[in-house]
Chains A and B, each alone.
Chain A
């Protein structure tokens, strides 16, 4: 399911580059454009978050059962259910509950988890930290790796190396994540090299965590590398047919220099886009890896909250995920504009 978003966005970014460049030519100063774009996109981001909160609230409402029933289990009688619903404020009509939630959020109050009565910030805080740590860890492994492989594959295109790395990458993404995880555990954990699960306590140091979270990070690396690598390769090869590359080649530049000096800078936009999307995926889409490695991240918390119909928690996490997605996309667009030589070196 996972990396699904990425490939497409990479390509779309590639394609979207053209009209963008054209528009930019008509406007004024490059940096001003960027600030305007950031402002616009942030506003649109808020709109996106609003739509998501409505969609998620509606979907959670449509789910059978409610929090009271989930908390009490099947042994609940109608009487106990009624008492608990009253206590939890579930008797209000859905629009009113949504409105109360929304006004709370607008004042910066995400409320309390209805199930545990703990403030959402407390519940989500450490989990968010864990999720970000794992995402960054996996990104630190996968981004350099996939860029390197992608550039090399483009440089030595159609060679054995290109074909083999391509086939390997495709094989890696066609295995379900949990399966990749099990195989890594079989090879690297059962042999005693790495632990098969992650335990985070107050005594855990960053060093410990880097060691114990290596397998989940490696699993995620295998899952996302293929996309970024393929996109890097495709973006570079896409440019190799351009006249200016032909020109550079005719001048007698070495293929390595041609790729690094001329192709890579122009291919950065789609690469940045696909990296951003994979980063968003590493933050929002890793629930399966969390489950297999017992890693206390946001994904598991969200599934628990959905199962228990704890809407406030579901909403809070959905908004965090969406915000991560929106911000990373924005960052990608800003970066790809800044790194666009045509834009930045305009007279």
Chain B
């Protein structure tokens, strides 16, 4: 019964947020973009609205959150009642506050990591495709080798060697992710570099960097964006899996991945507390990918 009810409420919220998001965007968009938003599917506007909410929460975390990020307020595992609307965690910190700050830290870290991985991976990948020859071969074989090592175990090795500050965490996950992006970018770019207009640009004497930035990247954007959507969300999972292995973000920083892990045992007893951070990750994943799907659909030119 409760399941049916929550599905019902969930669907209701979905339509509400979707409609509201679309209307707002339509109203706010500059005139020449208006058609784009009028035709956008509900899923996409829902996704955009959710992302917007997350971004606002992340930026305004200190203003919105009722308590301090690491503040210990009383007994552990208090029930859901004012002033702790979502109860307290095992150390007696306010769950709602941790979730709000978690948005800031997790989304920030995930964004930084993914952005780094994409800049690194796609520039190197396109460069390898453009230059070709021996450099391409060596780089690609090396990346292949790295990809053949299970990501989790490789990250574990690297983090144990280099320590687990937020910076190393970002760098290590970005490095592991960059191999995947490299491969994608390279194969996409290989299809582009043989095109006539690239040849023409080369003959015009355009430099390597300009070729990558102005000629190839815009045409390789669609698959890269799709990849970005999923990879962005996998960063949460990476952090979560690493905290399963005893590594992760330094306390008292709140992040969703570690929060799922910390509270996971409770799900064994049917307590839904760990569902909150997990749900926050899931909602963002779904939202981001709805938007990505919409963009891909637009790019594919399929009219349906």
Q: Is the CB of A48 within 8 A of B191?
A: no
Q: Is the CB of A15 within 8 A of B191?
A: yes
A222 contacts the other chain (CB 8 A): no
Taking CB atoms, residues of chain A closer than 8 Å to B300 are 237-238, 241
- Give chain B's interface residue range (CB within 8 Å of chain A): 35 or more
Q: Contact check: which of A12, A240, A291, A325 meets B187 at CB < 8 Å?
A: A12
If A55-B149, A182-B267, A303-B245 touch, whether A176 touches B304 (CB-CB below 8 Å) is no
Question: In this complex, what residue of B is CB-closest to A187?
Answer: B270
Taking CB atoms, residues of chain B closer than 8 Å to A71 are none
CB distance from A242 to the nearest CB of B (A): 10
B147 contacts the other chain (CB 8 A): yes
Q: Contact check: which of A14, A55, A171, A241 meets B302 at CB < 8 Å?
A: A241
CB distance from A182 to the nearest CB of B (A): 5
A138 contacts the other chain (CB 8 A): no
A318 contacts the other chain (CB 8 A): yes
B252-289 CB mask vs A (1 if < 8 Å, else 0) is 00000100110010011010001000100110111001
A177 contacts the other chain (CB 8 A): yes
Taking CB atoms, residues of chain B closer than 8 Å to A318 are 149
CB distance from B138 to the nearest CB of A (A): 10
Interface residues of B (CB under 8 A from A): 41, 43, 141-142, 144-153, 155-158, 160-161, 177, 180-181, 183-184, 186-188, 190-191, 194, 223, 226-227, 230-231, 233-234, 236-238, 240-242, 244-245, 257, 260-261, 264, 267-268, 270, 274, 278, 281-282, 284-286, 289-290, 293, 296, 300-302, 304
Taking CB atoms, residues of chain B closer than 8 Å to A60 are 157
Taking CB atoms, residues of chain A closer than 8 Å to B257 are 176
Bound complex: CA A158 to CA B157 (Å): 43
If A48-B141, A176-B261, A303-B245 touch, whether A1 touches B293 (CB-CB below 8 Å) is no
- In A311-327, the 8 Å CB interface with B consists of 318, 321-322, 325-326
Q: Is the CB of B304 within 8 A of A9?
A: no
CB distance from B199 to the nearest CB of A (A): 15
Q: Is the CB of A11 within 8 A of B282?
A: no
A253 contacts the other chain (CB 8 A): no
